[in-house]
Amino acid sequence: MTTDRRGADPGSGRRALTGVQLLHDPLLNKGTAFSEAERDALGLRGLLPPRRLRIEDQLVRVRRHFSVLTTDIDRYTYITSLQDRNETLFYRMVIDHLVELMPIIYTPTVGEACRTFGHIFRRPRGLYISIEDRGRIREVFGNWPQRPVSVIVVTDGERILGLGDLGAYGMGIPIGKLSLYTACAGIHPAECLPIVLDVGTNNETLLTDPLYTGCYQQRTRGKEYDEFIEEFVTAVEEVFPQVLLQWEDFATDNALHLLERYRNRLCTFNDDVQGTAAVVLAALLTACRVSERPVTEQRIMFLGAGASAVGVAGLIASAMERRGLSDAEARSRIWLVDSRGLVVAARTDLAEHKLPFAHDHPGATTLLEAVEAVRPTALIGLSTQPNTFNKEVLGVMTSYNQQPIVFALSNPTSRAECTAAEAYEFTEGAALFASGSPFAPLEFGGRLRTPSQANNAFIFPGLGLGVVLAKAARVTESMFHTAAEALAESVPGDSLVSGALLPPLEAIREVSARIAARVAREAVAEGLSDVVLPEDVEGWVRERMYDPSYNDTV
């Protein structure tokens, strides 16, 4: 993986840029940091102010502009505009201030950005492949200027976070995810390709929005949709044969169907199904470590039964099996609650993906009734229904659990099942808590509590880096177990005292390197990689991680 692509890039087939064209290329532009020799050799003399500034000086200017902005959406617009001008400076800023900026470039602010994406649109990034491009998707790929491409993140915009169908406005999600691949795991930004598949939208607000940037039509469904996706995947295989393809924010039926259809055909995974599962499993393993109650003895209830919930449930069941339970025993310890109540075998309205967790048990129509009947030790929210983990529900859990596990994972913050403060208050400070959106540390019961954000960024960048560096042919379930275990093992012992179930965000690049090394070893062990790994795999990984800095080219 390269760390500097200035001037001519032999692997890309692009000619060396000079003058204004160079200044307008965000991958190559250094702005006022170009040296005297570069200004002469690259036709920049007179196009820039005479004084050369270091990247540290540029960061001061960026920080000053950023600090005066008063809303998160304005901060998002500003920082992504910087990404469009100078990616090296953008990533230096993000990496140096990751705790502050991750909620801006991704969850929760990216949700607000997607809702108004056409209104804040400045410059195109990534590929828009619409249903109107059928029959020529391979040709569209030919318009992408960068080679090689290591990672593609693709969405069809139907289920953006907890906000629903945002159509082509969903492009903010692949852009944000790939920014995290670079910031958190060091995959070079030139090797990242965001894609939105525009098959229409059923969001009437967008269809009457004069600034909407997508196709004005209802969503394509059925056979036509499947054929469109097949053409897309075939084109990916032909044009980018070694790429890692990540599916993102597809509706439940399509997410599960496409993952099952393509997981054994190319190197691919679904982050909502598998990445979410791995980070939640990691937090659960840490909670088990704190409570001294192994995962095989937990009884876990999910509020929500979509793709994410079923993906998490499946990986937890698999983790229980890896620790000695049978498949039936593992599944018997996992329960789902959907919009119609407890998922039980007697119900006749269950979608196929819910059936493995439909138990022979009396029904319950509310979450409170389900908790009272099943008596779970862990309650995991992936419902996008706010205020559902209320005082009554968590009070019942606390009545029979010394340390109830409470994960309110729905995004954005407005959709969270409860806040961190509510989780601690309703359980009298006993909860082992994690959330989907970030919550600030708080004092409760005379102790500082540090709520952990079960952010997929703890998993997918490191896993992706391991897959890319190992040139793995497939992404397997074992890799997600390996990543989850590496993540759980990365939580420092002193962090557990304040309630943290995941490592501090400041350590994410180190954690990603550890996960990547483990995943690379797993790929080799499973016979999915021919790469010969050195003895110090973590060191080998770190050497290949992109670190944004300027290097003089002449």
- Residue 362 is given by DSSP the state -
The 3 state secondary structure assigned to 133-186 is: HCCCHHHHHCCCCCCCCCEEEEECCCCECCCECCHHHHHHHHHHHHHHHHHHHC
- Cα–Cα dist 420/349, whole Å: 34
Angstrom CA distances, 111 to 73, 167, 357, stand at 10, 13, 31
- Cα–Cα dist 411/416, whole Å: 6
Closest Cα to residue 178, out of 259, 42, 83, 53?
83
Closest Cα to residue 507, out of 451, 546, 458, 449?
458
Angstrom CA distances, 523 to 155, 159, 184, 483, 539, stand at 26, 31, 21, 12, 17
Which residue in 128, 177, 262, 546 is the catalytic one? 177
- Cα–Cα dist 99/97, whole Å: 6
Place of tokens 């309110």: 408
Which residue in 76, 91, 106, 424 is the catalytic one? 106
Closest Cα to residue 27, out of 96, 83, 98, 79?
83
DSSP string over 182-241:
HHHH---GGGEEEEEEE-----HHHHT-TT--S-SSPPP-HHHHHHHHHHHHHHHHHHST
- Cα–Cα dist 298/302, whole Å: 13
Q: Does the active-site annotation cover 391? A: no
Q: Does the active-site annotation cover 128? A: no
Displacement of CA 25 from its chain's centroid (Å): 26
- Per-residue burial over 255-286, b if 16 or more Cβ lie within 10 Å, else e, is bbbbbeebbeebbbbbbbbbbbbbbbbbbbbb
* Residues known to be catalytic: 106, 177
